[in-house]
Structure 1
Amino acid sequence: MSDFLPKEVRAGLEEARKRDLRKRSRLRVLVGDEVYPILRFWEDGFALDADQVAHLRGLVDIYDGSRHLWQSLIIASEVEAGELICVMKRSTAAAERAPLDYVRDENAPVGYLPRH
């Protein structure tokens, strides 16, 4: 059916589809000072709008709104059908505090009371 539509109409439909995906998705990629909305996300990768970014590689942070979810290493990105497809080598869940490098005893006191 898209063969019968003029290319201006096809371009308009594609832009409307991308705009709809950007509005629905709260996921964002933070690269340095730049923020890009994620159009689609799967286990080992995600898709960005190729009109906003042409190539992406290296360490990025992924946010859901203002909540930091993952820190990911992107090893490859290529443009397919107007989307920049990014493949992640690793994705580490973000934590609010640093991990412990020792085992915490479950019976350890939570705090100390002062002597009177």
Structure 2
Amino acid sequence: MEAVFSKEVQAGLEAARLTSLRRASRLRIDVGGVIYPVLRMWKTGFAVEAENAPKLRGLVDLFDGSKHLFQCLIVATQEEDGEMVYEFKRATAVASAAALDFERSETAPAGLIENYGSEFG
């Protein structure tokens, strides 16, 4: 059985759903210093509230709170149920250290201790 609601009730339910998603997510995108909260994210894209987000295209940074997760190349695909949906063309994970240009041996020492002469020698 399917319930039919008036347009006002349906709009209220949709607003409550968006508010709930906004509060539950710590995800956000940064586009040239402008921050947009991310409502939902999946493997190939994410959704932002449609009334606040323009049809973005290009390079954005994706954060979880203050942690920088991805640098993404995105394109807006559609607007549905009050959400603007974006798809990733590329999502590169942000590394905390620079990439090595050599192979690190598993048996390599963690550090080097030098002896600059001994007073007790």
Structure 1 and Structure 2 fold alike (TM over 0.5): yes
Q: Deviations over 1:23-79 (max 9, x none)?
A: 011111111111111111111011110011121111111111111111111034332
> Paired residue for 2:22?
22
Report which of the two structures shows the higher radius of gyration computed on alpha carbons: 2
Tell me the residue number matched to 2:38: 38
Is 1:101 equivalent to 2:101 in the alignment? yes
Whole-Å separation in 1 of the counterparts to 2:27 and 2:91? 15
Structure 2 distance, partners of 1:101, 1:113, is 24
Offset of 1:108 from its aligned partner?
Answer: 2.4
Counterpart code for 2:102:
Y
Number of aligned residue pairs: give it: 114
Q: Give % identity.
A: 51
| 2:114 counterpart residue number | 114
The one-letter amino acid of 1:42's match is: W
Question: Is the CA contact 2:28–2:65 (under 8 Å) kept in the aligned structure 1?
Answer: yes
RMSD after superposition:
1.6
**Structure 1 CA distance, aligned partners of 2:43 and 2:87?**
10
Q: TM-score scaled by structure 1?
A: 0.86
Does 2:62 correspond to 1:62? yes
Q: What secondary structure sits across from 2:16 in the alignment?
A: helix
Q: Which segments of 5 or more consecutive residues in structure 1 lack a partner in the other structure? A: none
Listed as ranges, the gaps of 5+ residues in structure 2 are none
Q: CA deviation at 1:8?
A: 3.1
TM-score calculated relative to the size of structure 2? 0.83
Runs of 4+ residues over 3 Å off in structure 1? none
Contact 1:27 1:62 in 2 (8 A): yes
**SS class of match (1:91):** strand
Matches within 5 A, 1:81-96: 81-96=81-96
